[in-house]
Amino acid sequence: MRLFLERGYDATTVSDVAAAAEVSSMTVFRHFPTKEDLVLSDDYDPLIADRIKSQPPDEPLMRRMAASLLQGVAGLSADDRELLLARLRLTLATPALRARQLDNQYATQRAIVEALRSDPPDPDQEFRLWVSAGACLAAAAAAIIRWAEQDGRLDLGELMAYALAIVTGEDGNPPHPSPGRH
Amino acid sequence: MRLFLERGYDATTVSDVAAAAEVSSMTVFRHFPTKEDLVLSDDYDPLIADRIKSQPPDEPLMRRMAASLLQGVAGLSADDRELLLARLRLTLATPALRARQLDNQYATQRAIVEALRSDPPDPDQEFRLWVSAGACLAAAAAAIIRWAEQDGRLDLGELMAYALAIVTGEDGNPPHPSPGRH
DNA sequence: CTAACAAATGATAGTTTCTAACATGTGATT
DNA sequence: AATCACATGTTAGAAACTATCATTTGTTAG
């Protein structure tokens, strides 16, 4: 991360990273399947999929998804958020990383649908799950991106709640437009 | 496309494509900046962005976006749909293409926001645009993916209308669950 | 018809990511 | 102290690009 932030992702070769870590390039590739994985080691997906099954099943679908995502960001420590911010800066600025991150989001979408679909599969239900999950994740991503663009000055939880409210229709008020915090 | 469908995307080198086209590899790279561009030559984005500005401005935001997307697929010829189907099969099966396609979708999202945002930029409005566009594109993508998974047997327009209705809240009925057409 | 000019193509060499095969060292268990 | 699993290193190589320069092709002007 230090090298990538200093010299840029594309301008930093895996050999550079290996040298800085005082190992051979091969060792890097053994621990990180691709160069992208040096930045994007996404292990949030299973957590979200787990959390969504513990939501009250009488709530509407999208609200359950929204609640899971909000609980996810609520559980982030200050350190988590700092690291997330650094990764986001790099990711948004680097096409290769951006594409890969979006594919991770797609995997999360699949995990959510997988977690919620009924056992004898119902194609129509699964489609509705897929659409709803896609919309919620798009809202969450929008919040995270805006949060990163503002250098983390806004509150991520409030921002995401606002974004999700837009999508679920229960259109609330924007979170403290200017006050900021931190 | 023929080679990619026959032998798979990863198993086909750019040299193979160049040989089949009876040109040198260099010539391929001059016409297609990356190997992915051989499959994903997305020129739909500007069309959608244009169309969205010609929607009745008194309609709710998401309905305008939905209408633009639906008009987009309505304008596809049978040949267009056939090519789209072949590309989708390949794209869904190939991680590299999938990631790139998602990045294209991200670019479309930006184009839509760009087309709709007010001239003195309003951060809150822009955020709402971003969230809404993301949700609509997620719904459209869900419809396209399902359409491809069903080998184009369902009607793409109806499927997308259904998906968009789920997201805009005006939850309709699923399109002819089984009849199919093709 | 030819000369001249612009554009497309080709050839070559190089960098970078990533894979495969095999060799080496190191630490824990028996 | 011998052995075995495992992390690491070395080397060779494929494949996607990039840069540079030569060559061809097509088009237009004289």
CA dihedral A112, A118, A120, A121 (to 10 degrees): -50
pLDDT in tens, A11-67: 999 999 999 999 999 999 999 999 999 999 877 787 888 899 999 999 999 999 999
Q: Which residue of A has its CA nearest to B142?
A: A131
How confident is residue B45, by pLDDT bands cut at 50, 70 and 90? confident
Checking if the pLDDT of A178 tops 80, the result is: no
Q: Please name the member of A103, A128, A139 whose beta carbon is closest to the beta carbon of B134.
A: A139
Asked if B130 lies within 8 A of A146 by C-beta distance, the reply is yes
Query: CB of B101 within 8 A of CB of B84?
Result: no
Rg (CA), chain A: 18
Domains of chain B plus CATH, in order, are 1-34 (1.10.10), 42-168 (1.10.357.10)
Q: Please name the member of A134, A139, A163 whose beta carbon is closest to the beta carbon of B142.
A: A134
Query: CB of B72 within 8 A of CB of B51?
Result: yes
With 0.75 as the threshold, say if the pTM is over it.
yes
Residue B152's pLDDT is 94
Checking if the pLDDT of A139 tops 80, the result is: yes
A112 CA, C21 C1': Å apart: 40
Give the residue among B55, B48, B69, B41 at the shortest CA–CA distance from B111: B48
CA–CA min distance B22, chain A (Å): 30
